[in-house]
Structure 1
């Protein structure tokens, strides 16, 4: 059974396909495409993870809804890394526990959602790794070890400090390159 919020979400998503449309705590959030700084961070991240993803046959998706449960929010991260054949809830929605890494770059209007709302939605859905890149704080936070409805571990690195991605990744991100500290 599709509820009123889900119906409105689908309508807005269909009307605005060029935007990222999410539901967050009972509200529909429409995010514009990222700035050049936002996209530069994503590009630098892609340069660092694409080799590992390609070697393992994983896919990197820039625009997919993450299904967190039947009546849960619907988030659209900036990037999602998934196995070759992830389990899908719908054509446009991957199941949270069928992801390998979700990434959001903080924008002026997304700070609260990226730091607090999304981790509390992703952990119960079994999302193994959620990475938050914050150009304002010049830091990167990794949420890992989901269990009991929350993440068991949060690791933060400032620009220039390495941030280790646990297995199945098994390497450190260069946060200096992500946040422009190497310039």
Structure 2
């Protein structure tokens, strides 16, 4: 797809559009729950400092062209871009927010991938199940430890590999309105 074609294309409302290798256009639906959950976690990252290196939906380089644009990533304070992107080696925590179309990918594929690349902490935030799964201790095929925390159970402190603590406020994570899709 040419640049002119992209500029003139009207993409459907409610979708995030990403442009991949070889001209691929990737469209993923974004729900209000998805967006507001990411925003809630971004607010929680402010406790790490106004200038903490935190990204949302920004590509991170992984080997073998397995690049990812996680919903939220917390990077080492001394992280430096390699070219235009940060490397997976700079990542302390990745969080993916489950949507009805991404549940299998977030729970299975991403758990295996992020464990394979030794991402120290992988969070799965599931607004529909109203739980957060904290994966730690990557082992090359996934994670050794996984702990599930229910929404509405207070603050969840997560120690990062550099000694800082990222605290997710489980009481403030948005819940789907009744009638929203469930997975």
Check whether TM > 0.5: yes
Give the CA deviation at 1:122.
Answer: 0.8
* Counterpart Cα distance in 2 of 1:103 and 1:20: 18
User: What is the 5 A alignment of 1:163-174?
Assistant: 163-167=156-160, 168-170=163-165, 172-174=167-169
Aligned to 1:3: none
* Counterpart Cα distance in 2 of 1:61 and 1:80: 5
Change in 2 beyond 3 A, CA 1:89/1:143: farther
CA RMSD of the aligned region, Å?
Answer: 3.0
* Counterpart Cα distance in 2 of 1:87 and 1:119: 25
* Counterpart Cα distance in 2 of 1:157 and 1:29: 35
* Counterpart Cα distance in 2 of 1:67 and 1:80: 12
Give the CA deviation at 1:34.
Answer: 2.5
Give the CA deviation at 1:53.
Answer: 4.1
Work out whether residues 20 and 76 of structure 1, in 8 Å CA contact, stay in contact via their aligned partners in 2: no
User: What is the 5 A alignment of 1:75-90?
Assistant: 75-90=68-83
Q: Secondary structure at the match of 2:101?
A: coil
User: Of 31, 36, 47, which residue of structure 1 is paired with 2:32?
Assistant: 36
User: Of 163, 171, 179, which residue of structure 2 is paired with 1:176?
Assistant: 171
Change in 2 beyond 3 A, CA 1:136/1:29: farther
Aligned to 2:41: 45
* Counterpart Cα distance in 2 of 1:117 and 1:90: 27
Give the CA deviation at 1:33.
Answer: 5.8
Gaps of 5+ in 1: 1-10
Give TM-score, length-normalised by structure 1: 0.72
Considering only CA atoms, is the larger Rg found in Structure 1 or Structure 2? 2
Residue-by-residue CA offset, 1:50-76 (whole Å, 9 max, x unaligned): 12143xx5311113223332x252221
Change in 2 beyond 3 A, CA 1:60/1:170: closer
Larger displacement relative to structure 2 (110-119 or 162-171): 162-171
* Counterpart Cα distance in 2 of 1:120 and 1:90: 26
Give the CA deviation at 1:169.
Answer: 3.5
Instruction: Tell me the matched-pair count.
Output: 161
Give the CA deviation at 1:173.
Answer: 2.0
Gaps of 5+ in 2: 8-15, 177-183
